[in-house]
Structure 1
Amino acid sequence: MAHYEALDGHKCRTPTCWTVLGERRVMGPELISDTKNKVRLIWDRLKAASDRKKSYADVKCKDIEYFVGDLEFLKVSPWKKVFRFGQKGKLSPRFIGPYCILKHVEPVAYQLELPSELDWIHNVFHVSMLRRYRSDPTFIVPTEKVEVSPDLTFEEELVQILDRDVKVLRKKSVPLVKVLWQNHSSEEATWEPEELMR
Protein backbone atom coordinates (compact mmCIF):
# COMPACT_ATOMS: atom_id res chain seq x y z
CA MET A 1 0.00 0.00 0.00
CA ALA A 2 1.30 3.50 -0.84
CA HIS A 3 1.76 6.08 1.95
CA TYR A 4 -0.98 8.29 0.47
CA GLU A 5 -3.46 5.41 0.52
CA ALA A 6 -2.50 4.52 4.10
CA LEU A 7 -3.03 8.10 5.30
CA ASP A 8 -6.12 9.10 3.32
CA GLY A 9 -7.85 5.74 2.90
CA HIS A 10 -8.15 5.85 -0.91
CA LYS A 11 -5.84 5.54 -3.89
CA CYS A 12 -3.98 8.59 -5.17
CA ARG A 13 -5.38 10.02 -8.39
CA THR A 14 -2.45 11.27 -10.47
CA PRO A 15 -2.85 14.07 -13.06
CA THR A 16 -3.01 11.42 -15.79
CA CYS A 17 -6.05 9.80 -14.16
CA TRP A 18 -8.17 12.80 -13.04
CA THR A 19 -11.46 11.36 -14.12
CA VAL A 20 -14.80 11.37 -12.38
CA LEU A 21 -17.10 8.33 -12.42
CA GLY A 22 -19.33 8.40 -15.44
CA GLU A 23 -16.83 10.32 -17.62
CA ARG A 24 -15.61 8.83 -20.87
CA ARG A 25 -12.12 7.49 -20.20
CA VAL A 26 -9.39 8.64 -22.58
CA MET A 27 -6.99 5.85 -23.46
CA GLY A 28 -3.70 5.34 -25.28
CA PRO A 29 -2.15 8.12 -27.37
CA GLU A 30 -5.05 10.49 -26.65
CA LEU A 31 -4.32 10.25 -22.89
CA ILE A 32 -0.64 11.09 -23.42
CA SER A 33 -1.29 14.04 -25.77
CA ASP A 34 -4.03 15.40 -23.46
CA THR A 35 -1.67 15.20 -20.45
CA LYS A 36 1.16 16.89 -22.42
CA ASN A 37 -1.18 19.72 -23.45
CA LYS A 38 -2.29 20.27 -19.84
CA VAL A 39 1.31 20.27 -18.56
CA ARG A 40 2.35 22.72 -21.35
CA LEU A 41 -0.57 25.02 -20.44
CA ILE A 42 0.38 24.92 -16.75
CA TRP A 43 4.04 25.72 -17.58
CA ASP A 44 2.99 28.64 -19.83
CA ARG A 45 0.81 30.15 -17.12
CA LEU A 46 3.53 29.72 -14.46
CA LYS A 47 6.05 31.38 -16.80
CA ALA A 48 3.68 34.30 -17.47
CA ALA A 49 3.10 34.81 -13.73
CA SER A 50 6.85 34.60 -13.03
CA ASP A 51 7.65 37.11 -15.79
CA ARG A 52 5.00 39.50 -14.50
CA LYS A 53 6.42 39.37 -10.95
CA LYS A 54 9.96 39.80 -12.30
CA SER A 55 8.95 42.88 -14.30
CA TYR A 56 7.49 44.48 -11.13
CA ALA A 57 10.63 43.63 -9.13
CA ASP A 58 12.99 44.91 -11.86
CA VAL A 59 11.38 48.36 -11.77
CA LYS A 60 12.37 48.81 -8.10
CA CYS A 61 15.69 47.01 -8.37
CA LYS A 62 18.77 49.15 -8.95
CA ASP A 63 22.46 48.40 -8.76
CA ILE A 64 23.88 50.07 -5.64
CA GLU A 65 27.58 50.11 -4.93
CA TYR A 66 29.32 51.45 -1.83
CA PHE A 67 33.03 51.96 -1.27
CA VAL A 68 35.35 51.19 1.65
CA GLY A 69 35.43 54.17 4.00
CA ASP A 70 31.93 55.43 3.11
CA LEU A 71 29.49 56.15 5.93
CA GLU A 72 26.15 54.33 5.60
CA PHE A 73 22.99 54.05 7.69
CA LEU A 74 21.93 50.55 8.79
CA LYS A 75 18.28 49.47 8.50
CA VAL A 76 16.93 48.13 11.80
CA SER A 77 13.19 47.79 11.14
CA PRO A 78 13.38 43.95 10.80
CA TRP A 79 14.96 43.79 14.28
CA LYS A 80 12.16 45.66 16.09
CA LYS A 81 10.87 42.55 17.79
CA VAL A 82 14.39 41.44 18.73
CA PHE A 83 16.09 44.59 19.95
CA ARG A 84 14.79 48.09 20.72
CA PHE A 85 16.91 51.08 19.75
CA GLY A 86 15.80 53.71 22.27
CA GLN A 87 12.16 54.49 21.40
CA LYS A 88 9.43 51.92 20.92
CA GLY A 89 6.38 51.75 18.68
CA LYS A 90 5.93 54.23 15.84
CA LEU A 91 8.76 56.45 17.09
CA SER A 92 11.41 53.72 16.93
CA PRO A 93 14.10 54.53 14.35
CA ARG A 94 14.12 52.79 10.97
CA PHE A 95 17.86 53.39 10.48
CA ILE A 96 20.78 53.73 12.88
CA GLY A 97 24.28 55.01 12.30
CA PRO A 98 26.04 56.14 10.19
CA TYR A 99 28.71 53.42 10.28
CA CYS A 100 31.91 53.11 8.26
CA ILE A 101 32.27 50.36 5.60
CA LEU A 102 35.33 48.24 6.40
CA LYS A 103 35.27 45.71 3.58
CA HIS A 104 33.45 44.76 0.36
CA VAL A 105 32.79 41.06 1.13
CA GLU A 106 30.71 40.01 -1.91
CA PRO A 107 29.04 41.88 -4.79
CA VAL A 108 26.01 42.54 -2.57
CA ALA A 109 27.49 42.25 0.96
CA TYR A 110 29.48 44.74 3.05
CA GLN A 111 31.21 44.58 6.42
CA LEU A 112 30.48 47.51 8.75
CA GLU A 113 32.36 48.90 11.73
CA LEU A 114 29.71 48.55 14.45
CA PRO A 115 29.97 50.05 17.97
CA SER A 116 30.69 47.87 21.00
CA GLU A 117 27.00 47.78 22.11
CA LEU A 118 26.17 45.89 18.89
CA ASP A 119 28.89 43.23 19.33
CA TRP A 120 26.33 40.42 19.35
CA ILE A 121 25.24 41.27 15.77
CA HIS A 122 27.12 39.82 12.78
CA ASN A 123 28.76 42.79 11.03
CA VAL A 124 28.23 41.73 7.38
CA PHE A 125 25.03 43.07 5.77
CA HIS A 126 23.24 42.80 2.44
CA VAL A 127 23.17 45.94 0.32
CA SER A 128 19.37 46.24 0.86
CA MET A 129 20.02 46.81 4.59
CA LEU A 130 22.15 49.91 3.93
CA ARG A 131 21.14 53.47 3.09
CA ARG A 132 23.54 56.11 1.80
CA TYR A 133 24.55 58.82 4.27
CA ARG A 134 24.56 62.23 2.62
CA SER A 135 25.90 64.97 4.84
CA ASP A 136 24.98 68.55 3.94
CA PRO A 137 27.25 71.15 5.59
CA THR A 138 24.61 73.87 5.09
CA PHE A 139 22.33 72.11 7.61
CA ILE A 140 24.98 72.27 10.35
CA VAL A 141 24.42 75.28 12.60
CA PRO A 142 27.45 76.23 14.73
CA THR A 143 26.41 76.10 18.38
CA GLU A 144 28.45 79.16 19.32
CA LYS A 145 26.21 81.35 17.10
CA VAL A 146 22.98 80.18 18.75
CA GLU A 147 22.27 81.37 22.27
CA VAL A 148 20.51 78.49 24.00
CA SER A 149 18.67 79.25 27.25
CA PRO A 150 18.91 76.95 30.30
CA ASP A 151 15.61 75.23 29.34
CA LEU A 152 17.26 74.29 25.97
CA THR A 153 15.20 76.71 23.85
CA PHE A 154 16.30 79.61 21.67
CA GLU A 155 14.60 82.58 20.01
CA GLU A 156 14.40 82.93 16.25
CA GLU A 157 15.22 86.46 15.08
CA LEU A 158 13.82 87.98 11.90
CA VAL A 159 16.55 89.21 9.54
CA GLN A 160 14.66 90.25 6.42
CA ILE A 161 11.31 90.01 4.66
CA LEU A 162 12.00 88.51 1.23
CA ASP A 163 8.55 88.50 -0.39
CA ARG A 164 4.87 89.25 0.14
CA ASP A 165 1.76 87.36 -1.01
CA VAL A 166 -1.96 87.13 -0.29
CA LYS A 167 -3.60 83.75 0.28
CA VAL A 168 -7.26 83.87 -0.77
CA LEU A 169 -9.61 81.68 1.24
CA ARG A 170 -13.39 81.27 0.77
CA LYS A 171 -14.51 84.18 2.93
CA LYS A 172 -11.32 86.16 3.55
CA SER A 173 -7.81 86.82 2.34
CA VAL A 174 -4.70 86.41 4.50
CA PRO A 175 -1.61 88.55 3.79
CA LEU A 176 1.63 86.49 4.06
CA VAL A 177 5.30 87.42 4.20
CA LYS A 178 8.33 85.27 3.38
CA VAL A 179 10.71 85.61 6.33
CA LEU A 180 14.45 84.99 6.43
CA TRP A 181 15.48 83.94 9.94
CA GLN A 182 18.85 84.40 11.63
CA ASN A 183 21.19 81.35 11.37
CA HIS A 184 19.19 80.02 8.38
CA SER A 185 19.82 80.12 4.64
CA SER A 186 17.43 81.71 2.12
CA GLU A 187 16.22 78.20 1.11
CA GLU A 188 14.90 77.75 4.66
CA ALA A 189 12.82 80.96 4.63
CA THR A 190 9.23 80.39 5.74
CA TRP A 191 5.87 81.95 4.91
CA GLU A 192 4.24 83.55 7.97
CA PRO A 193 1.03 85.59 8.48
CA GLU A 194 1.88 89.31 8.23
CA GLU A 195 -0.01 90.16 11.44
CA LEU A 196 2.33 87.93 13.51
CA MET A 197 5.42 89.78 12.20
CA ARG A 198 4.33 93.19 13.53
Structure 2
Amino acid sequence: MNKDIAEYVGRCLTCAKVKAEHQKPSGLLEHPEIPLWKWEQIAMDFITKLPRTSSGHDTIWVIIDRLTKSAHFLPMRETFTMDKLARLYINEIVVRHGVPLSIISDRDSRFTSRESIGKTKSSNGA
Protein backbone atom coordinates (compact mmCIF):
# COMPACT_ATOMS: atom_id res chain seq x y z
CA MET A 1 0.00 0.00 0.00
CA ASN A 2 2.85 2.45 0.80
CA LYS A 3 4.23 1.87 -2.68
CA ASP A 4 0.84 2.72 -4.25
CA ILE A 5 0.53 5.90 -2.16
CA ALA A 6 4.06 7.03 -3.04
CA GLU A 7 3.38 6.38 -6.73
CA TYR A 8 0.07 8.30 -6.65
CA VAL A 9 1.56 11.28 -4.77
CA GLY A 10 4.55 11.29 -7.15
CA ARG A 11 2.22 11.78 -10.13
CA CYS A 12 -0.24 14.17 -8.45
CA LEU A 13 0.26 17.78 -9.62
CA THR A 14 -1.74 19.22 -6.70
CA CYS A 15 0.35 17.23 -4.21
CA ALA A 16 3.55 18.59 -5.76
CA LYS A 17 2.31 22.20 -5.53
CA VAL A 18 1.27 22.06 -1.87
CA LYS A 19 4.15 19.90 -0.65
CA ALA A 20 5.27 21.01 2.81
CA GLU A 21 8.81 22.32 3.08
CA HIS A 22 10.99 20.42 5.52
CA GLN A 23 13.91 22.84 5.49
CA LYS A 24 14.26 26.04 7.43
CA PRO A 25 14.02 28.98 5.00
CA SER A 26 17.37 30.61 4.41
CA GLY A 27 17.94 34.13 5.67
CA LEU A 28 18.26 37.15 3.45
CA LEU A 29 21.62 37.73 1.85
CA GLU A 30 23.49 40.69 3.23
CA HIS A 31 26.24 42.70 1.61
CA PRO A 32 29.10 42.95 4.09
CA GLU A 33 30.38 46.48 4.50
CA ILE A 34 33.65 47.43 2.82
CA PRO A 35 36.55 47.29 5.29
CA LEU A 36 38.42 50.50 6.12
CA TRP A 37 41.79 48.90 6.93
CA LYS A 38 43.85 45.99 5.65
CA TRP A 39 43.19 42.70 7.45
CA GLU A 40 40.32 44.25 9.43
CA GLN A 41 37.86 41.83 7.82
CA ILE A 42 38.82 38.47 6.41
CA ALA A 43 37.18 35.57 4.62
CA MET A 44 38.27 31.97 4.83
CA ASP A 45 37.54 28.60 3.30
CA PHE A 46 39.09 25.16 2.90
CA ILE A 47 40.11 23.42 -0.31
CA THR A 48 39.86 19.74 0.55
CA LYS A 49 40.29 16.28 -0.96
CA LEU A 50 43.61 17.19 -2.61
CA PRO A 51 46.29 14.58 -3.35
CA ARG A 52 48.45 14.06 -0.25
CA THR A 53 51.85 15.77 -0.37
CA SER A 54 55.09 14.17 0.83
CA SER A 55 54.61 15.98 4.16
CA GLY A 56 51.08 14.58 4.50
CA HIS A 57 49.08 17.71 3.67
CA ASP A 58 45.81 17.17 1.80
CA THR A 59 43.98 20.47 2.40
CA ILE A 60 44.65 24.17 1.83
CA TRP A 61 43.22 26.74 4.23
CA VAL A 62 42.64 29.95 2.25
CA ILE A 63 42.47 33.16 4.30
CA ILE A 64 41.77 36.38 2.34
CA ASP A 65 41.86 40.05 3.32
CA ARG A 66 38.57 41.46 2.06
CA LEU A 67 39.98 44.94 1.32
CA THR A 68 43.16 44.16 -0.63
CA LYS A 69 42.24 40.62 -1.71
CA SER A 70 45.68 39.44 -0.61
CA ALA A 71 45.62 35.87 0.63
CA HIS A 72 47.45 33.27 2.65
CA PHE A 73 47.33 29.64 1.53
CA LEU A 74 48.10 27.42 4.50
CA PRO A 75 48.82 23.73 3.87
CA MET A 76 47.23 21.42 6.42
CA ARG A 77 45.72 18.02 6.95
CA GLU A 78 41.96 17.59 6.83
CA THR A 79 42.19 15.85 10.20
CA PHE A 80 43.75 18.82 12.05
CA THR A 81 42.06 19.46 15.39
CA MET A 82 40.57 22.82 16.34
CA ASP A 83 43.56 23.42 18.65
CA LYS A 84 45.99 22.86 15.79
CA LEU A 85 43.97 25.15 13.49
CA ALA A 86 43.93 27.86 16.17
CA ARG A 87 47.73 27.66 16.60
CA LEU A 88 48.25 27.75 12.83
CA TYR A 89 45.91 30.77 12.53
CA ILE A 90 47.65 32.67 15.33
CA ASN A 91 51.16 31.89 14.07
CA GLU A 92 50.47 32.67 10.41
CA ILE A 93 47.76 35.37 10.44
CA VAL A 94 47.42 37.09 13.82
CA VAL A 95 51.18 37.50 14.29
CA ARG A 96 51.48 39.18 10.87
CA HIS A 97 48.23 41.15 10.65
CA GLY A 98 46.60 41.31 14.09
CA VAL A 99 43.15 40.11 15.11
CA PRO A 100 40.41 40.92 12.55
CA LEU A 101 37.15 42.60 13.51
CA SER A 102 35.14 40.08 11.49
CA ILE A 103 35.58 36.75 9.77
CA ILE A 104 33.36 35.50 6.96
CA SER A 105 33.29 31.78 6.25
CA ASP A 106 30.89 29.18 5.04
CA ARG A 107 29.37 27.23 7.86
CA ASP A 108 32.10 24.59 7.87
CA SER A 109 31.70 22.13 10.74
CA ARG A 110 35.19 23.06 11.93
CA PHE A 111 33.78 26.47 12.90
CA THR A 112 30.23 25.59 13.89
CA SER A 113 30.86 22.67 16.25
CA ARG A 114 30.25 23.17 19.97
CA GLU A 115 33.98 22.67 20.61
CA SER A 116 35.09 25.45 18.25
CA ILE A 117 32.39 27.88 19.42
CA GLY A 118 33.53 27.34 23.01
CA LYS A 119 37.17 27.97 22.08
CA THR A 120 36.23 31.14 20.19
CA LYS A 121 34.25 32.49 23.15
CA SER A 122 37.02 31.70 25.64
CA SER A 123 39.70 33.29 23.46
CA ASN A 124 37.60 36.47 23.20
CA GLY A 125 37.14 36.67 26.96
CA ALA A 126 33.41 35.89 26.84
Same-fold status (TM-score > 0.5): no
TM, length-normalised to structure 2: 0.31
Q: Rg bigger for which structure?
A: 1
Q: Which has the higher contact order (CA 8 A, sep 6+)?
A: 2
Greater strand proportion: 1
The TM-score, its normalising length taken from structure 1, stands at 0.23
